[in-house]
Amino acid sequence: MAAVSMTGIVKKFGAVTAVDGVDLEVADGRFVALLGPSGCGKTTLLRMLSGLEAPSQGRVRIGGKDVTALPPERRNVGFMFQSYALFPHMTVAANLRFPLRMRRGLSRSQEDARIARALDLVRLPDVGQRKPQQLSGGQQQRVALARALIDEPDVLLLDEPLSNLDARLRDEMQLELVELRRQVPITTIMVTHDQHEGLALADDIVVMRAGRIEQQGTPESVYASPATPFVADFLGAANLVPVSVEGGLARWPDGLTTPVDGAPGQHTLMLRQEDIAIVQPGAPAEVELTARIVAAAFRGSSLQLSVEAGGARLRFGAPVQGGYGVGAQVRIGWVRAAARLL
Amino acid sequence: MIGERPFAATVAMLLLLLLVGVFLLAPLAVVAAASLSAGGFLVFPPQGLSLRWYADVWGDPRYVQAAWTSLGLALITVAIAVPLGTAAALSLRRPGALPLRGLWEFLFLSPLVLPAVVLAIGLLILASNLAGGPSKAALVAGHVVIALPYVVRTVTAVLAGVDPATDDAARVMGASAWQRLSMVTLPQAKAGIAAGAVLAFIVSFDDAVLVLFLRAPTLETIPLRIYAGLEFSPDPGVAAVSTCLILLAAVAVGVTDRLLGGKQVVG
């Protein structure tokens, strides 16, 4: 186990700059999720940690040791690929034996013991003699995880580990991954384009955009106070309204004003979907607006409403039993502190 | 109904298919039938039925000698063309590993479309300049050239289905370049390599053009022996040997088809 540090990382592919000056510190034992849309450089960053790509500039350190010039075969990292990259011509046991063979001088029986332990860890004790293609997607995913961990790497790297699973299995595997990390508290860096996955699993998230780090911090802090409209939008379902602020009031596109905390000037006002509610008679909200419903979609447990208010379009959830129809006028409200200026 | 063919068109199509089938198979059928003749002349339809010409050819030292020569030549061709073609397919696969990749790909596959005669003349001139005349080495070189595209094609086809991340994974797990090749990539490509070997064998074994130009005077392969037999003593023995070649090719096609599981390789 080891801390990971990347300083001043730049990666160019020909004329394209995939990573453009990244500094990243991951403390020993932390689980960090690199989040961002495809093409933001997160996978390139992961591959540079593993040594599969060499940075054009910058240093990579694992456990305090500069590994920038070391090829992957001489770094001690576990890498789980998006495609799992299991060897189809080998049994599961042979797949797990491979990393042990490459790096350690263990006896056959020591190897067997480790393979059995790794399969137990991912709760697949009986699949050793099967070929990967005889396993389900979820089982393949676990075998890939076991293979990445079996050699006790300093760092575990996960590239979109859950993206090939269907939605139900994905939720299940998220919980398994949390449980596994409790048993094996190894420094882990995960790449994902799925913000829910990042928020649910990681100790820290790093939101990337166009080769740079946009914001990093704990999931709670980044979600609660996004530094930029991009982060707010990417992390989930935020309503973003361009406003001009003066004297504690935000002027909406159609001239309406609402109270807000923040410095004067042009800003993006962020309102999370879960912070907006329909105002019930006799229970006034701190901030209220009149809105017209332009669309309503049934979501089972709730209604997803899209409304027009103050010259902007807002989305949020409402209880089904309200019977809100398209075209209806409603009062919507939120607590003053929920409206953040970015 | 949309998409349903009129009856007349269906009949026309079946007739056409039948015609093409007859056109393709008739020569083979004639040869096979002639080989079963009990008479002494190469004629169709055969006069009576017997396997005597198979026995005759089997006992003819000229045919046996030619068969051994062809076999040796084909095996040497396979031994050279398979590693060479596999290496070519591996380097064509990696983007950026080879500058002007399209050009190389064309070059490796060009013997498929270039006339063998042109190749034969070129090699003959080279052999005359460098080695003082046609030789077995020149012939092997020629066979390797015409067999190479088949190996490149079959191995490329199989490699296309190999996840490139398996190589990365092996690397991260500590495998050297040689270990990755021998333990990860080549084992996944072995069906293509085997199919390429079978096709290379057949290409060499069946070749009549290159061998005509490039052979040393004493060297006689099966296709040449057939040709000589036809010229000097056209008996059903020629047809018997030809039938054996047809069967060999059929087995080869069957084997490659099984190995590759329907991947389009030739053509």
pLDDT tens-digit series, residues A327-340: 888 899 999 888 88
Question: Would strands A155-159 and A187-192 be described as parallel, antiparallel, or unpaired?
Answer: parallel
Taking the Cβ of residue B163 and every Cβ of chain A, the question of whether any pair is shorter than 8 Å is answered with yes
**Do A181 and A219 sit in the same domain of this protein?**
yes
- Integer Cα distance of A55 and A142 in angstroms: 30
Q: Evaluate whether A58 touches A229 at the Cβ level (below 8 Å).
A: no
- Residue B187 lies inside a defined structural domain of this protein: yes
- Integer Cα distance of B235 and B229 in angstroms: 8
Cross-chain Cβ contact B171/A102 below 8 Å: no
Q: Evaluate whether A193 touches A209 at the Cβ level (below 8 Å).
A: no
Cross-chain Cβ contact A73/B169 below 8 Å: no
**What's the total number of domains in chain A?**
2
Residue A330's domain is classified under what CATH number? 2.40.50.100
State residue A76's pLDDT score.
92
- Integer Cα distance of B237 and B39 in angstroms: 11
Type and span of the H or E element at B174: none
Which residues in A lie closer than 8 A to residue B176 (C-beta atoms)?
73
CB nearest to A50's CB, from B166, B172, B179 = B172
**Do A307 and A203 sit in the same domain of this protein?**
no
State residue A105's pLDDT score.
81
Which structural domain, as residue segments, surrounds residue B77? 69-260
- Residue B213 lies inside a defined structural domain of this protein: yes
Query: Could you tell me which chain B residue has the CA closest to the CA of A53?
Result: B168
Which residues in B lie closer than 8 A to residue A75 (C-beta atoms)?
172
In the beta sheet, which residues pair with residue A32?
A: A189, A204
Instruction: For residue A56, report the phi and psi dihedrals to the nearest 5 degrees.
Output: -70, -35
Alpha carbon of B108: minimum distance to chain A alpha carbons (Å): 28
Q: Evaluate whether A139 touches A124 at the Cβ level (below 8 Å).
A: yes
Query: Could you tell me which chain B residue has the CA closest to the CA of A86?
Result: B166
Residue A213 confidence (pLDDT) above 90:
yes
Question: Would strands A57-62 and A4-13 be described as parallel, antiparallel, or unpaired?
Answer: antiparallel
**Do A205 and A242 sit in the same domain of this protein?**
no
Tokens encoding A93:
């046991």
Alpha carbon of B104: minimum distance to chain A alpha carbons (Å): 23
Question: Quick one: B114 exposed, middle or buried, by C-beta within 10 A (0-12, 13-18, 19+)?
Answer: middle
Residues 6 or more apart whose Cβ sits within 8 Å of residue A312:
A239, A241, A252, A253
Instruction: For residue A233, report the phi and psi dihedrals to the nearest 5 degrees.
Output: -70, -40
Taking the Cβ of residue B183 and every Cβ of chain A, the question of whether any pair is shorter than 8 Å is answered with yes
Which structural domain, as residue segments, surrounds residue A298? 237-341
CB nearest to B165's CB, from A71, A83, A102 = A83
User: Which tens digit of pLDDT belongs to each residue from B140-155?
Assistant: 999 999 999 999 999 9
Alpha carbon of B146: minimum distance to chain A alpha carbons (Å): 31
Which own/partner pairs from A322-325 qualify as long-range (CB within 8 Å, at least 24 positions apart)? A322/A278, A324/A278, A324/A293, A324/A296, A325/A293, A325/A296
Q: Evaluate whether A61 touches A4 at the Cβ level (below 8 Å).
A: yes
Cross-chain Cβ contact B168/A85 below 8 Å: yes
Which residues in B lie closer than 8 A to residue A99 (C-beta atoms)?
173-174
Alpha carbon of A36: minimum distance to chain B alpha carbons (Å): 22
Residue position matching structure tokens 């040709």: B227
Cross-chain Cβ contact A71/B171 below 8 Å: yes
Cross-chain Cβ contact B171/A52 below 8 Å: yes
Which residues in A lie closer than 8 A to residue B166 (C-beta atoms)?
85-88
Q: For each of chain B's 267 residues, which pLDDT tens digit applies?
A: 456 778 888 899 999 999 999 999 998 998 888 888 888 777 778 788 888 888 888 888 989 999 999 999 999 999 999 999 999 999 888 776 677 888 888 888 888 888 889 989 998 898 888 877 778 888 999 999 999 999 999 999 999 999 999 999 999 999 999 999 999 999 999 999 999 999 999 999 999 899 988 887 788 899 998 888 888 878 888 889 999 999 998 998 888 888 887 554 543
User: What is the percentage of chain A residues whose pLDDT exceeds 70?
Assistant: 100
> What's the rounded mean pLDDT across residues A153-159?
95
In chain B, DSSP finds a helix count (H) and a strand count (E) of 13, 0
Which residues in A lie closer than 8 A to residue B172 (C-beta atoms)?
50-52, 72-73, 75, 77-79
Half-sphere exposure of A268 (CA within 13 A, CB side): 15
Q: Evaluate whether A260 touches A249 at the Cβ level (below 8 Å).
A: yes
Residue A1 confidence (pLDDT) above 70:
no
Taking the Cβ of residue B187 and every Cβ of chain A, the question of whether any pair is shorter than 8 Å is answered with yes
**Do A181 and A266 sit in the same domain of this protein?**
no
**Do A215 and A259 sit in the same domain of this protein?**
no
**Do A150 and A206 sit in the same domain of this protein?**
yes
From the CA atom positions of chain B, what is the Rg in Å?
A: 23
**Do A196 and A263 sit in the same domain of this protein?**
no
Residue A15's domain is classified under what CATH number? 3.40.50.300
Cross-chain Cβ contact A85/B175 below 8 Å: no
DSSP-derived letter for residue B181 is I
- Integer Cα distance of A51 and A45 in angstroms: 10
Which own/partner pairs from A22-27 qualify as long-range (CB within 8 Å, at least 24 positions apart)? A22/A58, A22/A208, A22/A211, A22/A212, A22/A213, A23/A213, A24/A206, A24/A213, A24/A216, A26/A187, A26/A189, A26/A204, A27/A3, A27/A187
3-state helix, strand, coil in chain B (%, to 5): 75, 0, 25
Alpha carbon of A174: minimum distance to chain B alpha carbons (Å): 23
**What's the total number of domains in chain B?**
1
Last residue of a domain, one of A179, A211, A230: A230
State residue B267's pLDDT score.
39
Which residues in B lie closer than 8 A to residue A115 (C-beta atoms)?
none
CB nearest to B165's CB, from A74, A78, A81 = A81
Tokens encoding A298:
């049934």
The ipTM is 0.82
- Residue B148 lies inside a defined structural domain of this protein: yes
Interface test with B, best of A46, A49, A74, A83 (most B CBs within 10 A): A83
Tokens encoding B108:
């490796």
Q: Evaluate whether B119 touches B111 at the Cβ level (below 8 Å).
A: yes
Type and span of the H or E element at A199: helix A195-201
Tokens encoding B251:
């087995």
CB nearest to B174's CB, from A73, A81, A83 = A73
Last residue of a domain, one of A197, A230, A263: A230
**Do A268 and A127 sit in the same domain of this protein?**
no
**Do A126 and A264 sit in the same domain of this protein?**
no
**Do A183 and A84 sit in the same domain of this protein?**
yes
Q: Evaluate whether A79 touches A147 at the Cβ level (below 8 Å).
A: no
Taking the Cβ of residue B170 and every Cβ of chain A, the question of whether any pair is shorter than 8 Å is answered with yes
- Integer Cα distance of A76 and B151 in angstroms: 38
- Integer Cα distance of A265 and B19 in angstroms: 83
Q: Evaluate whether A289 touches A269 at the Cβ level (below 8 Å).
A: no
Type and span of the H or E element at B1: none
Taking the Cβ of residue A79 and every Cβ of chain B, the question of whether any pair is shorter than 8 Å is answered with yes
Last residue of a domain, one of A211, A230, A249: A230
Interface test with A, best of B167, B168, B172 (most A CBs within 10 A): B172
Examine residue B45 and say whether the peptide bond preceding it is cis (omega within 30 degrees of 0).
yes
Interface test with B, best of A102, A150, A154 (most B CBs within 10 A): A102
Alpha carbon of B161: minimum distance to chain A alpha carbons (Å): 11
State residue B219's pLDDT score.
86
**Do A167 and A204 sit in the same domain of this protein?**
yes
**Do A225 and A268 sit in the same domain of this protein?**
no
From the CA atom positions of chain A, what is the Rg in Å?
A: 24
> What's the rounded mean pLDDT across residues A10-17?
92
Residue B142's domain is classified under what CATH number? 1.10.3720.10
State residue A192's pLDDT score.
92
C-alpha torsion B211→B217→B222→B227, nearest 10: 90
What are the CA-CA distances from residue B56 to residues A178, B59, B68, B113 (Å)?
A: 78, 5, 17, 38
- Residue B49 lies inside a defined structural domain of this protein: no
- Integer Cα distance of A145 and A118 in angstroms: 9
